[in-house]
Chains A and B, each alone.
Chain A
């Protein structure tokens, strides 16, 4: 003991001296650094933007296609000289739909990669985890891929949603249920988070409380097997209509056990979990995993027949729609491997449209690009951006929601199918006019405005 003490005393004296020297050195370094005044992530020839998306994990099926589809549109822009001479570098990182990963990956994008803006990041719990951070750093958190009501909040001026808020979707579908299935018993199945709760808020605004006989939930973090208990409870409660706020995997995991117990209610599913080319393959995959025969597996796609959902774009099965034609060409040329794998489905369509919205925001912000300038441009001219949406975007200085309308569609085997590399999937036809409403108590009313056509620059050169 005494030996060690004696030896270490000399060593620690030296260490102290070294430490003190270090501190002096560090303070000189600190005082020498002065901040540059330019906009982070922007040079005269480039704009760096980033996002965190689920490339792995429970939310990855389908959703992992969105960011690469955005990349395809940016490649098209870059191939034509960029925006105001600046090429867009889009760096999307995997967060596995886990908020803890989102927190780290977003800091990597902002603090290390110095992005100009976070664009097209996916998920409610994930983006809520970084909303405070991005706002405190004054980094625009644009066009979040989630319909949570939480994105339009004066406390978080840097944040904006893009797709219809879930409450708006819930109101439009709820109003359809009320008029079409009057007097029928309704059951809910929803994700136990803001996605599900906001959707249910919308349904509850429209449906008489007495008609709702059962409210079932599932936890997305533990979503691993069929939602048998929930479906059995809905059956036992006698629900003739089941309204669902589910991600694609959960839609499949609900329909399969229901079919097994001979329960076939009228499904009304949020746009989030009703894209046939995404849900169809999941149905087959889960049925196969569950030990169904080959004939049964081939037939499960039929479960989607008759499903009611909503859409805020022309469905991909509508091959004569000019937007659908342009989007197909664009994907085939600028993201050939994605197009070979996924084709044009609800997710790739979504990615292209969202990226195009951002490009227009950049154009509106002008040559002298700043973060504040970008936000001001969206607030000022966001309503007039051209999108494949059935209703215009509703951005203003106080409203940070994108689309606030949709039409109700019915998946039907008589509608033209959606053909993707994974097969031919059931298509949809509109069963209601395009309707608009808001997240509050506003009525659901018919939208009478025009739907924009794809701009010439896109249809010509894509």
Chain B
């Protein structure tokens, strides 16, 4: 839709301005935020819009990252094609997980996807010659055009990718598919009576969501220049879910808040523990502790996440202005209760 494209180009303009005026390290972090926005947006569609839960999105990210890295190391493919393959292969992984997932709900689905997140890293460790063992595989970003610094160039690729994903997802949610996704979430029986193939819809949601995660994994691999299993631990999958809830389940723009938290929280907690001279036993877990605490506080103060809170504040604001604070595109009008199936 035109509106989504306009918002995206506005976002691109802002990001252009931002990336050229911040330090190279900030560019690196902005790029990471964009990468996380991609996976969180996919997760938001799966959980918020379609009502399915996944604790295995870190593993889908690993699938995408390894796909791109393997292609980079063994073929001379076009860069865009290598990224598209990450989406494709992760999407196939999503299909494989999504099919049994149609029969599972709530905690059982969470358990199965959790198993996926746990089972994947040992596979990469099993064949060190293919997957590079602990050292992993290297990933290289194509040379930056002109005098652009590699960090800025990478940030642009990642931001561009995130904007494309957001536009596509926003359009999808406004389309017939978006309505079927929501209908299945709200009432499966009613949806099937209305002629919707419930199982196919649920699998579709998994495929889309896993594809997004795959792209995000490849993006993060580009950021660090290397892909190894250490970068996709189980805690990542859980943090993704928490960040999505914090951002505002079902919202797309809200995922930016979740992504910002994912990138900056570990740093804040490190400087915090340094500031208060906390022991290593505490500081190692401080980020996780703060994450949990923020989640609890947010669920009490703003049950629909940061984006839900902003929307609430917006509605109470006298008059209106312009900018990103407006109604989130593609977001369902009323925030959705999370993690309940019926």
Contacts and interface: CB of A to CB of B under 8 A. Distances in A.
B64 interface: no
Nearest to B2: A12
Interface residues of A, number: 53
10 contacts: A15-B6, A22-B16, A56-B280, A94-B283, A96-B284, A104-B224, A111-B28, A125-B136, A193-B134, A221-B229
Interface string B12-23: 111011001101
Given A99-B228, A124-B134, A192-B125, A57 B284 contact: yes
Given A112-B25, A129-B225, A129-B226, A18 B134 contact: no
A159 interface: no
B140 A129 contact: no
Given A128-B135, A150-B135, 13 more contacts: A12-B6, A14-B322, A15-B10, A19-B13, A22-B17, A23-B16, A27-B20, A57-B284, A100-B224, A100-B231, A125-B228, A125-B230, A129-B226
Contacts of B209: none
B135 A56 contact: no
B199 interface: no
Given A29-B21, A99-B226, A129-B225, A20 B13 contact: yes
B102 interface: no
A136 interface: yes
B230 A60 contact: no
A103 B125 contact: no
Contact of A19 (B12, B136, B270): B12
Contact of A4 (B9, B25, B327): B327
B332 interface: no
Given A29-B20, A60-B280, A133-B225, A15 B134 contact: no
Given A103-B226, A192-B125, A12 B7 contact: yes
B24 interface: yes
Nearest to B7: A12
The 5 tightest CB contacts between A and B, nearest first, are A19-B13, A103-B224, A112-B25, A111-B25, A56-B284
Contacts of A16: 6, 9-10, 13
B284 A194 contact: no
> Which of A25, A96, A103 has most B Cβ within 10 Å?
A103
Interface in B1-47: 3, 6-7, 9-10, 12-14, 16-17, 20-21, 23-28, 32
Nearest to B19: A26
Contacts of A219: 125
Interface SS of A by simple majority: helix
B288 interface: no
Interface in A111-154: 111-112, 124-125, 128-130, 132-133, 136, 150
Contacts, number: 131
Contacts of A7: 320
Interface of A: 4-5, 7-8, 11-12, 14-16, 18-20, 22-23, 25-27, 29-30, 55-57, 60, 64, 93-94, 96, 98-101, 103-104, 107-108, 110-112, 124-125, 128-130, 132-133, 136, 150, 192-194, 219-221
A112 B28 CA distance: 10
A114 to B, nearest CB: 9
Contacts of B133: 192-194
B135 A193 contact: yes
Interface string B276-320: 000010011000000000000000000000000000000000001
B151 interface: yes
Contact of A107 (B12, B20, B28, B228): B28
> Which of A7, A15, A64, A150 has most B Cβ within 10 Å?
A15
A124 B135 CA distance: 8
A158 to B, nearest CB: 14
B226 A22 contact: no
A129 B280 contact: no
Interface residues of B, number: 46
A147 B186 CA distance: 58
Given A111-B28, A111-B151, A132-B140, A11 B135 contact: no
A27 B133 CA distance: 43
B111 interface: no
Contacts of A30: 20
Contacts of A8: 3, 326
> Which of A30, A56, A64, A192 has most B Cβ within 10 Å?
A56
Contact of A25 (B17, B134, B223, B229): B17
Interface string B146-185: 0000110000000000000000000000000000000000
A98 B230 contact: yes
Contact of A18 (B10, B226, B320): B10
A26 B16 contact: yes
A383 B314 CA distance: 68
A108 B151 CA distance: 12
Nearest to B138: A132
B195 interface: no
Contacts of A22: 13-14, 16-17
A215 to B, nearest CB: 15
Contact of B322 (A5, A15, A110): A15
Contacts of B6: 12, 15-16
A12 B135 CA distance: 47
> Which of A99, A193, A219, A221 has most B Cβ within 10 Å?
A99
B225 A11 contact: no
A103 B138 CA distance: 12
B134 A125 contact: yes
Contacts of A192: 125, 133-134
A23 B11 CA distance: 11
Contact of A23 (B13, B136, B280): B13
> Which of B10, B23, B283 has most A Cβ within 10 Å?
B10
B326 A132 contact: no
B323 interface: yes
A124 B225 CA distance: 16
Contacts of A112: 23-26
Contact of A111 (B12, B20, B23, B326): B23
A282 B15 CA distance: 50
Nearest to B9: A19
Interface in B92-147: 125, 133-136, 138, 140
Contacts of A130: 225-226
Contact of B226 (A93, A104, A108, A128): A128
Contacts of B228: 99, 125, 129
A293 B135 CA distance: 41
A126 to B, nearest CB: 9
A224 to B, nearest CB: 13
A7 B322 CA distance: 10
B211 to A, nearest CB: 22
Nearest to B20: A26
